[in-house]
Each structure stands twice: as C-alpha cells, then as structure tokens.
Amino acid sequence: MPHSQHFALADPVIGHLNSVVCNVTDQFILSRYVGLIAVAAVTVYELCIKDIFWGFSSRKHKVFGTFVSKHFERINGRIRLCDIKGEYLPRFGEVYQRRFAARLKVAETLELRSSGKSITASYNNIITWRHQFAHEGSFVSTVTYSEAVDCYTLGKEVIRVLAETMTR
C-alpha cells in the first residue's frame, strides 16, 4: 500500500471537524480540537514513515525489509526532522541523507515563496503540539484550529519528500 493512503485516516476526520468547528466558540473545546488534529497528524506521519522505510528496504531485500519493519515498530512519535536526518537516514547511507536535505530545501523554498509558510517548522510544530497534548496534558492555547490544520497539511510535504528520496 502506498504510504499516502494513511492520510485517509486523518483527512476525513479533519474534514468533518472543519464543518463543526466554525460553530464552536468555547476556547477550551477548540484547544482540544487542536490536540486531536495533532494526534491524528502524528499518527498518520508515523505510519507513512514506517511504510516508506519498510517499502524501500523490502524492495532492496526481503530480509532487510523484515529487519527494518521490526526496527521501526516502536518509533512512538520519534519522527522529528532531527530524528529522520540524524538517526534514520544515516542507516541507509549518505546518499539518502544528502538527497533528502537537498529536496527538502527545494520544497521549503518553494513553499516559503508561494505561501510564506515553512513546511519544516509546520511539521515539527505539529509533533510538539501532539507531545504536549498526549504526554504532558497541556493544551496549546496560542494555536488556532486552522493553524493546526495548516501545519498538518504542510507537514505532508515533508512526508512526500521523504518518500521521493527513498527510491532507487
């Protein structure tokens, strides 16, 4: 299954919440929606990253695919860019590190020019918000619902770049 099919787990929920949130004025409830978006986003990102690395390694060799599958079984939110760049990609070789960095830089520049928004900051922000919501019980009151949805959407570009990078 292509990694992008995992987005179907979060996108319909976000679509539904988009139709509901316009009628919500309670900031407490809105902050919970931000947390829900963050949890859904990071869950989907994790699944995509696992699939990308597993798919790449299993195409190389069946045993390698099994090893990578087991290794990535419990990444549990450890999917920040620093984790991808510093821990995961080095295991596949320097060529993939350089390729990811170059392609991410191009994607970042294009998005900054077109929308003024950073895909890398958005990606890391949604992970931070998920951590605060799921592990610390704190809620990000300075983030709006629409900002959380934007960050999720922009973060998908990081996943796309990673998938594009992990090809032969």
Provide the sign of the torsion angle of the four alpha carbons 55, 94, 70, 156, taken in this order.
negative
Mean pLDDT, rounded, of the chain: 89
Task: Give the mean model confidence (pLDDT) for residues 142-148.
Answer: 91
How far, in Å, CA of 57 to CA of 69, rounded?
9
More confident call, 135 vs 85: 85
pLDDT per residue as tens digits for the range 94-130: 999 999 999 999 999 999 999 999 999 999 999 999 9
**Do residues 90 and 84 make contact, with C-beta atoms less than 8 angstroms apart?**
no
Q: What is the pLDDT of residue 65?
A: 65
Task: Give the mean model confidence (pLDDT) for residues 6-14.
Answer: 91
Task: Give the mean model confidence (pLDDT) for residues 143-163.
Answer: 96
Q: What is the pLDDT of residue 103?
A: 98
**Quick one: residue 2, left, alpha or beta (phi over 0 = left, psi -120 to 50 = alpha)?**
beta
Alpha helices, DSSP H only, in the chain?
Answer: 7-21, 27-60, 62-71, 81-83, 94-115, 119-131, 145-165
Give the other-Cβ count within 10 Å of 152's Cβ. Answer: 25
Q: Does 4 score more than 80 pLDDT? A: no
Q: Does 9 score more than 80 pLDDT? A: yes
Q: What is the pLDDT of residue 1?
A: 53
Provide the sign of the torsion angle of the four alpha carbons 34, 114, 123, 16, taken in this order.
positive
pLDDT per residue as tens digits for the range 41-87: 999 999 999 889 888 887 778 776 677 677 777 777 789 999 999 99
How far, in Å, CA of 37 to CA of 17, rounded?
9
Structure confidence at residue 134 as a pLDDT band (50, 70, 90)? confident
C-alpha angle with apex 79: 77 to 81, nearest 5 degrees? 145
- Name the residue ranges covered by the structural domains of the chain: 3-165
How far lies 30's CA from each of 130, 143, 144, 156, in Å? 15, 9, 8, 23
Residues near 44 by beta carbon (within 8 Å), at least 6 away in sequence? 6, 7, 9, 10
